[in-house]
Amino acid sequence: MAISAQEVKALREKTGAGMMDCKKALIETGGDAEKAVDFLRKKGLSKARDKAGRDTKEGVIHSYIHPGSRVGVLVEVNCETDFVAKTDDFQNLVKDIGMHIAAAAPRWVRSEEVPSEVVGKEAEIFRAQMVDSGKPDNVIDKIVEGKLKKFYSENCLMEQGFVKDPDKTVQLLVEEVIARLGENIQIARFVRFGLGEG
């Protein structure tokens, strides 16, 4: 099947992927532009996961002040090179993350950072809620596990639904940018300030 240069160019503009990757995606999907986008996303996300172990010593510290000046955020986002840190794609990601933190008020970056005593206390509360349910222990264990997963998705930045697109987690948002830029990106830390909060 012949793929025109215009089709490749349109897909490149839509996804930011390389010309050859766009052409290959269109060939693989029989010229279907929507399927080609999905093809590139899947390929890019697997590449993004391959880059996860690489060092990230560059990046930026970004400050976000929400309109009305009642909520502010400082966030450190790292990447591999200074060159990528200066790209619009990276800068826009950092701004989006700052805005998301202001809106969603996560407590930790990742679920692994939640202190074990907090996890234990939450599990204990969830289990106590089920004590009079009459359900068997193995069912209660599954319910507690599900409630802990929801707790993480509400309190851990990387597992939260992105405020601009709740169907996508912040983790997926970051992986999409990694796929486009070809470098590992990590959210190192953040602090959220709310006016009047101790």
Domains of the chain in sequence order: 5-50 (1.10.8.10), 58-109+156-194 (3.30.479.20), 115-155 (1.10.286)
Nearest CA to 92 out of 192, 155, 13, 173 is that of 173
Task: Kindly report, residue by residue over 6-44, the tens digit of the pLDDT.
Answer: 887 787 766 666 667 778 888 888 888 788 877 777 666
DSSP 112: G
- Considering the entire predicted model, what is its pTM? 0.71
Task: Kindly report, residue by residue over 142-151, the tens digit of the pLDDT.
Answer: 888 899 999 9
H or E, element range at 177: helix 170-181
Amino acid in the structure at residue 185: I
Tokens 């010593």 found at: 57
Strand partners, 54: none
Buried b (16+ CB within 10 A) or exposed e, 25-60: bbeebeeeeeebbebbbebbeeebeebeeeebebbe
Mean pLDDT of 156-171: 94
